[in-house]
Structure 1
């Protein structure tokens, strides 16, 4: 396996990842599609993403627990928003991750470097790599630094649109909202989902996003803006 490129190493160091063992960082930056265009033994990021997801969740949960006395429901609401793929992808873009992901040509041509799913997964894989190399405390410190604006901001404080729509329907004596996937396009690593939400005898709204869950959230938000 080749080592990190000078650009990739400089970028990792710039953002506090402190690479020492090239192999673990190359693994974190490698999408499965790369194996069709790179070294045959190139491991992809999935195992590190699994680990990083847990390190991120525990770190954010600990921060939220110490930050105040919010009840469990509010803590869960904020935790889910702060560790979501959408938030991870947003942070990944803010530090310039897309240009450093190792993708196969077809995946890159299909927009994989700007996929929320891929960016979120690689962000978690980098956290996993940091944990493997330097331990939990260092990985947690990295998370708190990269997530600082998100933790101190309003992410997850507002009621989730799907919950708000459910309560709106119940409060107005309407049937529960129904979500339907009306279209799915693109390859698996850069899929686009269109979801319609409808409330009987009221109306419907539609939204498209890179995941079914995000499309449902945006559809619920659009419905409330139109009918709420």
Structure 2
């Protein structure tokens, strides 16, 4: 699948650019013609080269390490993640405090457009099959209670902000290639939304930076 060149290429700051969704966002943004500043804690972990790519070191929990990279940016993709996994859930403030710092820095820099990554299981969708709702409520929400607690705080902070935000709530993530063929629900639950690739989450964000229908909206997407 080839991404369409953006008619209005811009300057993007992608945070967490060495993670699954973050790296795919970098690749697809470059393919679309955008200038990308990729913010990572360890630049050595992002082995990409491109004339329109700048890889910088920064930590969202330390505002003075990243605030300057917001200058002249048109949009931000916050693809923050925490290490661990479903059986290594630990208390975290990366999503809440990290994105609170980002929102404050965006306000200072005058940047008004951003995407944030959350999770579909944060709310139990009434249009999912019973077994999926059961697993989300009694397995995922318990095994990942710390991560989900921080994501809930993050979502509240984002929704209370004055920027043009979009919160992505993907279901089970896969590592397959981007297809550009997926279903999307804006501000409502998506029926039978069971899986989506990290690349297609990135595909939606890169292709909807200027889509006002996605402003101040929560997005569910799946195949």
Task: Tell me the TM-score normalised to structure 1 length.
Answer: 0.24
Relative to its length, the structure with more helix (as a share) is 1
Name the larger-Rg structure.
1
